Amino acid sequence: MSTNTKIAFIGLGVMGGPMTGHLARAGFDVSAYNRSPGRAAKWRKAWDDEGLSVRFAETPARAAEGADVVCTCVGNDEDLSSVTTAENGVLEAMGEGALLIDHTTTSADMARSLAEACEAKGVIFVDAPVSGGQAGAENGQLAIMCGGSDTAMERARPVMEPYAKAIVHVGPVGAGQTAKMANQMCIAGILGGLSEAIRLAQGAGLDLDKTYEAISGGAAQSWQMDNRWQTMTTDEFDFGFAIDWMRKDLGYALDEAKRLGLSSPITAMVDQFYAEVQAKGGNRYDTSGLITRLPKAV
């Protein structure tokens, strides 16, 4: 895909902002929209200071005018509807043959519904939720799981490459979102066990650095252990992806499992553990804040 390609990016949060910056650095012609003017102003200054050229629009539709590709990365199903199919949404302005890549984590039903709306306008659609957190977005190292046609993926892949370390075409529309649900279920289960393991090590008076060294080289190793063991032991929980958003994602996963007639008791249990953390004011902790529901041994 030519770097003359016009791309509109909708949603400049902790994920979308860095992703937009990577597109501008790659030489694409980029426009942007964010619902919060304050956050848009923050990114405008950062990109101006870096010498990047990103145009800002007053509505999603204005950002999408003349765009070959529109990327969205917002909060949930309702947020996505508001910037795509609602008044002044991007579909008002997108022309036939344009491509919509959605990086929001949504329900699979939302992905399928949006795909139908795109098809009615001759717009190509890919659902492409991401994993890797704020650090992955900032470093251009996101894992992207995609749902859509082979043709759509051929168009979408060069757009996503500037901020991805892995792009996997999982299946048809909705498959990307379902894979992301599986991803979040895995994270939830791992953090549940990791939280209890840290409290055990603390309660037994073990050297926490030595304990990490001892167990991280074996079968217990995980990304969460490598990146959050130290911060969880020092009560640091400000790493981007909030518990509020994790509960939203787990809700989608539990709903989809129920629709498929499946039981997900571990996910349901950890979801309720997160609810307990929320009730104590930990809504904006990152997902490793799950450990705070477990008291330390005295």
- The share of the chain scoring above pLDDT 90, in percent, equals 96
Mean predicted confidence (pLDDT) in 7-24: 97
Q: Worst-scoring range by mean pLDDT, 3-12, 114-123, 267-276?
A: 3-12
Q: What is the C-alpha separation between 84 and 99, in angstroms, rounded?
A: 13
What pLDDT shows up at residue 150?
Answer: 97
Assign domain 6-172 to its CATH superfamily: NAD(P)-binding Rossmann-like Domain (3.40.50.720)
pLDDT at 259 over 80: yes
For position 3, what pLDDT does the model report?
A: 61
Which residue, 178, 129, 124, 179, is CA-closest to 154?
A: 124
Q: How confident is the model at residue 1 (pLDDT cuts 50, 70, 90)?
A: low
- The 10s digit of each residue's pLDDT in 189-248 is 999 999 999 999 999 999 999 999 999 999 999 999 999 999 999 999 998 789 999 999
Average pLDDT over residues 267-275: 98
The pLDDT assigned to 21 comes to 98
pTM: 0.92
Percent of the chain with pLDDT over 70: 99
| CA separation, residue 166 to residues 162, 183, 213 (Å) | 11, 14, 28
| Residue-range domain boundaries for the chain | 6-172, 179-293
| CATH 2.40.128.20 describes domain 179-293 | no
pLDDT of 2 above 80? no
Q: Known catalytic residues?
A: 180
Question: Burial code of 24-37, b = ≥16 C-beta within 10 A, e = fewer?
Answer: bbbebbbbbbbbee
Arithmetic mean of pLDDT, 150-157: 97
